[in-house]
Amino acid sequence: MLINCAAYQNGSKLGDIPVADISEYLTRPECFVWVALFEPTVDEIDEMAKEFGLHPLAVEDARKGHQRPKIEEYDDSLFVVLHTLEPASDAMDSALIDGEVDIFVGRNYILSVRHRTQKGFGDVRARCEREPALLRYGSGFVLYALMDTVVDRYFPILDTMESDLEQIEEYIFVRNTARSNIESLYALKQKLMLLKHAIDPLMEATGKLYGGRVPQVCAGMGDYFRDVYDHLHRIHATIEGIRDMLTTAIQVNLGMISLSESEVTKKLAAWAAIIAVPTMLAGIYGMNFKHMPELDWTFGYPLAIATMVAVDVYLYVRFKKTRWL
């Protein structure tokens, strides 16, 4: 589905143009074309490939989708694959939807193709059009703006994960929460890996857009792409931190489970003793020997009961002291 197709010159919009005219605008100097597609049909992609003269391998990737994040250079054009993560709209479910944005960038064109994402880039286009001074940089600046937006949208996801971790950490030393803690920790790890797979390859690739030899398209925008890289690196470091804490938290949780079992065993042992001792005494006075003088005492019975109570009180106090109870 075609979302947008517009031509820009010297940082300002010339207007929306029909797809068929794209190749014409591409020949004009200082002019570039910006097209946005959403879940396009095979025909739409093929048409774009023809208009812009895209590389067949990149087109095949865009057609198949499900690429890992990457930035590939084909002659003087770039093929960029970004992953988007969006919380499922259903508020009940905390799952993340793993979308994809494929971007083709050449000297005088930029084509973005969105898959499985709800949020578009209308705001990016609007922001770019409000800043003609920067938009004059051409397609390279638009690429920066798109990447910056996608990366910035990772931060709330990451913040949610950090606060999820903090929430679990609060419960980790609370008794009887082991099962739910361990489920939460595992679910968090799953989400974290999703984010990690979106971030890591992209960070690696973005590192080549500034510094030494950079693709022609990004020339002169090194500070901007370094800023994107910096954000990615920050997310990466935070992910690694969370991963490390998750591993520790799972280990600690295991410790808490063992500890709680240990406490149950102690309690079990203590109560078993408290019940077993009177049972043994009762058993003794239940024996049928002819000559058992205590049985004939007037206060034999109360004395026996008193002994039982005394022993149990003693045991109870002692177990309390050693914290078995």
For a copy of itself, the binding residues in 250-289 under the rule CB under 8 A are: 250-262, 264-269, 271-273, 275-280, 282-289
Distance CA 301, CA 221 (A): 97
As given in the structure block, the two tokens for residue 22 are: 């794209």
Residue number, 120 or 278, with CB nearest to a copy of itself: 278
Distance CA 185, CA 252 (A): 11
Return the ∠ at Cα 68 (arms to 23 and 59), rounded to 5°.
25
Choose, by CB under 8 A, the member of 2, 6, 74, 160 that binds a copy of itself. Answer: 74
| Residue 226 sits in the site that holds a copy of itself (CB under 8 A) | yes
| Residue 230 sits in the site that holds a copy of itself (CB under 8 A) | yes
Residue 85 backbone dihedrals phi, psi, to 5 degrees:
-125, 125
Q: Which stretch binds a copy of itself (CB under 8 A): 21-29, 82-90, 111-119, 224-232?
A: 224-232
Choose, by CB under 8 A, the member of 30, 123, 170, 294 that binds a copy of itself. Answer: 294
Using CB under 8 A as the criterion, what x/- string covers residues 155-194 for binding a copy of itself?
--------------x--xx--x-xx--xx-xx--xx--x-
Place of tokens 């007037």: 298
Contact positions with a copy of itself (CB under 8 A) in 127-156: none
Contact positions with a copy of itself (CB under 8 A) in 302-321: 304-305, 308
Choose, by CB under 8 A, the member of 10, 12, 216, 248 that binds a copy of itself. Answer: 248
Choose, by CB under 8 A, the member of 1, 57, 88, 95 that binds a copy of itself. Answer: 57
Choose, by CB under 8 A, the member of 1, 95, 174, 292 that binds a copy of itself. Answer: 292
Q: Residue type for 17, please?
A: I
Q: Residue type for 52, please?
A: F
Q: Order of strands, edge to edge, in the sheet holding 12-16?
A: 12-16, 2-9, 31-38, 109-115, 96-106, 77-87, 70-74
| Residue 224 sits in the site that holds a copy of itself (CB under 8 A) | yes
Q: Residue type for 202, please?
A: L
Cβ(278)–Cβ(308) below 8 Å: yes
Choose, by CB under 8 A, the member of 2, 245, 311, 325 that binds a copy of itself. Answer: 245
Residue 7 CB, nearest distance to a copy of itself (Å)? Answer: 27
Residue number, 17 or 68, with CB nearest to a copy of itself: 68
At residue 86, the 3 state secondary structure works out as strand
Binding residues for a copy of itself, total number by CB under 8 A: 91
As given in the structure block, the two tokens for residue 41 are: 């049909």
Distance CA 55, CA 195 (A): 29
Place of tokens 């770019």: 128
Residue number, 41 or 251, with CB nearest to a copy of itself: 251
